[in-house]
């Protein structure tokens, strides 16, 4: 892959449906609160950039029912699930389109706000993304970003989760990705021309139920094969870690802190 190509590490479509449903259960309330705070004025056009399975896109369409909402994603498998969700939730003011975030947009109207969550951590370089994302914003419009910082943690502490964190960070670093986004992103946006940082906040949900804590092993299972292929761990170690993460998820005495999220409101100037 060259630096202009999304290095998407995770599965897509049905292969990642359950993990993304768990993730939506955990993060959507905080994301929805963030968007309600930042979009207090009437909006006519919204874009969900890198929309995944479209959970937030459909919510935006219902919450801002007078707006036209566009969900953009590069994966046909993701978009197929988006359209299933749109039909199931009966949200007619949504249009899902295939779009590469590293390519200039064509046929997509400028928006009052462009929203993205968990996108930058999958990109090797950010300059092209920000240029294209800001081109989708009207003058004075908003670019609303949510990106994570590592690591996961749990109480009581467990060595399997510590090892999973190290392996995940090593893998993504070797791929030229920044899954630990917050520090580099903070410096990047404050040096970015053509925007001002209008507002920011942080969110870090605590996982208490078995369903929520399944995010640990579901997330590690996504990188199981790449870790082995790159020689970062053996099959036996990876399988053991998944088993131990599942134990943490099932043990009511373990409380898990998921990834901290930075929430940024950038205004196009």
| pLDDT tens-place string over residues 179-206 | 899 999 999 999 999 999 999 999 999 9
Fold topology of 13-268: Rossmann fold (3.40.50)
| pLDDT tens-place string over residues 4-40 | 333 556 666 777 889 899 999 999 999 999 999 999 7
The full DSSP string for 112-177 is EEEEEES-GGG-S--HHHHHHHHHTEEEEEEEEEEEEES--EEES--HHHHHHHHHHHHHHHHTT-
| pLDDT tens-place string over residues 156-166 | 999 999 999 99
| pLDDT tens-place string over residues 79-110 | 999 999 999 999 999 999 999 999 988 889 99
- The reply to whether the predicted model has a pTM over 0.95 is no
């Amino acid at each position: 892959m060259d630096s202009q190509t999304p290095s998407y590490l995770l599965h897509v479509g049905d292969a990642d449906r359950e993990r993304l449903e768990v993730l939506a259960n955990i993060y959507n309330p905080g994301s929805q609160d963030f968007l309600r705070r930042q979009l207090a004025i009437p909006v006519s056009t919204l874009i969900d950039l890198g929309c995944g399975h479209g959970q937030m896109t459909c919510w935006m369409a219902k919450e801002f029912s007078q707006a036209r909402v566009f969900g953009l994603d590069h994966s046909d498998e993701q978009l197929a699930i988006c359209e299933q969700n749109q039909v199931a939730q009966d949200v007619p003011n949504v249009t899902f389109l295939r779009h590469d975030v590293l390519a200039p947009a064509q046929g997509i109207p400028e928006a009052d706000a462009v929203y993205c969550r968990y996108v930058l951590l999958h990109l090797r370089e950010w300059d092209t993304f920000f240029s294209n994302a800001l081109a989708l914003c009207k003058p004075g419009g908003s670019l609303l970003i949510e990106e994570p910082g590592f690591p996961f943690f749990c109480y009581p502490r467990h060595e399997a989760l510590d090892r999973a964190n190290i392996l995940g960070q090593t893998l993504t670093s070797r791929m030229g990705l920044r899954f630990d986004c917050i520090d580099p992103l903070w410096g990047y946006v404050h040096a970015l021309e053509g925007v001002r940082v209008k507002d920011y906040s942080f969110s870090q949900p605590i996982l208490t139920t078995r369903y929520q804590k399944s995010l640990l092993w579901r997330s590690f299972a996504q990188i199981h094969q790449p870790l082995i292929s790159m020689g970062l761990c053996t099959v036996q170690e990876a399988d053991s870690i998944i088993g131990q993460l599942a134990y943490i998820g099932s043990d009511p005495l373990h409380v898990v802190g998921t990834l901290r999220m930075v929430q940024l409101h950038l205004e196009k100037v």
